[in-house]
Amino acid sequence: MQHPAERPVLAVDLGGTQIRAALVTPDLVVHCRRATESRDEAGVDVVISRIVDITAAVRDDAVRRGLPAPIAIGIAAPGPLDPWRGIVLDPPNLLDWRNVPLADEVAAALEMPTILERDTNVAVTAEWRYGAARGTRNAVYITVSTGIGGGVINEGRLLVGDHGGAGEVGHVGVEIDGPICGCGGIGHVEAIASGTALARDGRALLKSKGSEGLARLATTGIEVDAELVARAASLGDNACAALLERAWVAIGAMCASLVNLLDPEVIVIGGGIAEHSPRLFEVVRDELRRRALPTLRDRVRIEPASLGGDVSLIGSLPIVNERIGDPAYRREPQASRMAITQQGAPHS
């Protein structure tokens, strides 16, 4: 490790459906783990108060158990966000979030310095420092689940970009006339290969009576999602198999573009869909052979992620320890903009 992390952090992972929090110690043990629903439909203030409550509960648990005190709070949140000002900008995965000063709100409520980073940047940092990309200087991390996200390590540093938005690999264009993405762009890989896109295309197949397998599985009360499409494909449904194959080719095309652009040593692929799709890795390797520059494609490794669902907690450990002394990132406790109500600790 180039920069050994020295102090524990209170790590928070804010997702569209769930908030998770834990104390992460430098030996990478995740202590006092808690989770609660995000309830973003209830509004920004409610979500923030739930983050504050669950983080306070973890902190209290850690004190009771005699664990070492955290140096600060690290929040992993959906992008786009501004990591320097600690502001969540306008994430498609959180309802009605526009320019929310999340780091300042949490710092004020819990009276601890707080650092905010995009969830996928936290994840790539974890895989690079401790996981499948360990020991490399140039690495890409891709998560394939409900959406497609990622992060880039370039020359031994997290690639942040001019506005904090670098590494949004899900919005790489792979079809010039392709479907419209959730972000409004055309032909992005997320619009073709994400869980959301597979569910959409599966529903269309069902509606057009294009898949007998889906029709058999999608009985009353069962919704078509990416998992059902995958199940139909595994039971021999050709239309669903073709849908998945097209998605994996789109991810392979994106990976080829990333190889040509960034010349990484390794591309690490994780996320709920990737974990259950060994065929994805075969197709990505095939597409690299078809689409990437010969001198680069023969050297790049394609690896499954190794840290599982905890990447977005564990990655806050090195990020917080590195940035805590950097006034460009560190958000100090100040008076709260919002009146945050403490509603008691959520259950784990």
Residues that bind Zn ion (CB under 5 A): 171, 181, 183, 185, 188
Amino acid at 321: N
- Residue 165 Cβ, how far from Zn ion at the closest point, in Å? 12
Tell me whether residue 129 or residue 188 sits nearer to Zn ion (CB atom): 188
- Residue 92 Cβ, how far from Zn ion at the closest point, in Å? 9
Number of other residues whose CB lies within 10 A of the CB of residue 110? 19
- Residue 189 Cβ, how far from Zn ion at the closest point, in Å? 8
N-term to C-term CA, the chain: 32
Q: Tell me the three-class secondary structure of 28-75, residue by residue.
A: CCEEEEEEEECCHHHCHHHHHHHHHHHHHHHHHHHHHCCCCCCCCEEE
Tell me whether residue 166 or residue 183 sits nearer to Zn ion (CB atom): 183
Rounded CA-CA distance 298/275 in Å is 24
- Residue 59 Cβ, how far from Zn ion at the closest point, in Å? 37
Tell me whether residue 51 or residue 94 sits nearer to Zn ion (CB atom): 94
- Residue 91 Cβ, how far from Zn ion at the closest point, in Å? 13
Tell me whether residue 100 or residue 181 sits nearer to Zn ion (CB atom): 181
- Residue 176 Cβ, how far from Zn ion at the closest point, in Å? 14
Q: Tell me the three-class secondary structure of 263-322, residue by residue.
A: CCCEEEEECHHHHCCHHHHHHHHHHHHHHCCHHHHCCCEEEECCCHHHHHHHCHHHHHHH
Tell me whether residue 145 or residue 306 sits nearer to Zn ion (CB atom): 145
Q: Which residue is nearest to Zn ion (CB)?
A: 181
Rounded CA-CA distance 161/140 in Å is 15
Instruction: Enter the tokens of residue 69.
Output: 């005190």
- Residue 264 Cβ, how far from Zn ion at the closest point, in Å? 21
Tell me whether residue 78 or residue 318 sits nearer to Zn ion (CB atom): 78
Rounded CA-CA distance 45/340 in Å is 7
Tell me whether residue 26 or residue 185 sits nearer to Zn ion (CB atom): 185
Rounded CA-CA distance 34/123 in Å is 19
